[in-house]
Amino acid sequence: MKTRIHVNQHHIRANAKGGDLPVLTVKTYKENIKCNKVVVHGPSTVVYSPDKPLSCGAKVWIETEAEVTVNEEPPAAKNLEEIFSLVKTTTTALNALAVAGKRLDADELAEITEETDAVALIAERFYGIDVDFSEQLSKIKIRVDEPRKFSEWVLGEEKPADWPEEK
């Protein structure tokens, strides 16, 4: 089974600001695992593909058919109280973005979505807490410079009637 391993740059940036998120993603056809340590038990290849990145945007990754071992220990600095606080803070921040009505571009929304996914993953995998931020994320408005392209790419349909006119 082909496995791809890449570094999550958003998590590295968040960790530099005091976060404690896993910075590696191990992808197979059936799952994505976030972690901080991966051991590849066999040959592997480092791939740089700037013109054809992975769907997550990674342009450099490791590919292997060999078995991999993933370190899935909970982040050392997090206890249950800190996880509840992190979930509450994330929910509050998402609600504030929605209420403020600030329009985000697609990259900003993707980064926020990735961060919320990381919080949900830590809460669920290591502490058994089921967290879903999809309702809050759905309320955040998107600013798009190319409405037609965005509509075709993301919505997969014609743009809505209230969509801004093209310039």
Residue 32 confidence (pLDDT)? 86
Burial (Cβ within 10 Å: 0-12, 13-18, ≥19) of residue 23:
buried
Residue 130 confidence (pLDDT)? 80
Instruction: Please give the C-alpha separations between residue 98 and each of 9, 140, 141, 142, in angstroms, as whole numbers.
Output: 25, 5, 7, 10
Q: C-alpha 24: how far from its chain's center?
A: 11
Q: Are 64 and 43 in contact (CB under 8 A)?
A: yes
* Tens digit of each residue's pLDDT (9 = 90 or more) over 10-49: 888 888 887 788 899 999 888 888 889 998 989 999 999 9
* Tens digit of each residue's pLDDT (9 = 90 or more) over 107-150: 777 778 888 887 887 777 767 778 888 888 777 766 555 444 44
Q: Are 140 and 98 in contact (CB under 8 A)?
A: yes
Q: Are 5 and 37 in contact (CB under 8 A)?
A: no
Q: Are 53 and 4 in contact (CB under 8 A)?
A: no
d(CA 1, CA 53): 20
d(CA 40, CA 152): 39
- Using 50, 70 and 90 to split pLDDT, how confident is the model at 7? very high
pTM above 0.75, yes or no: no
Domain locations along the chain: 3-69, 80-155
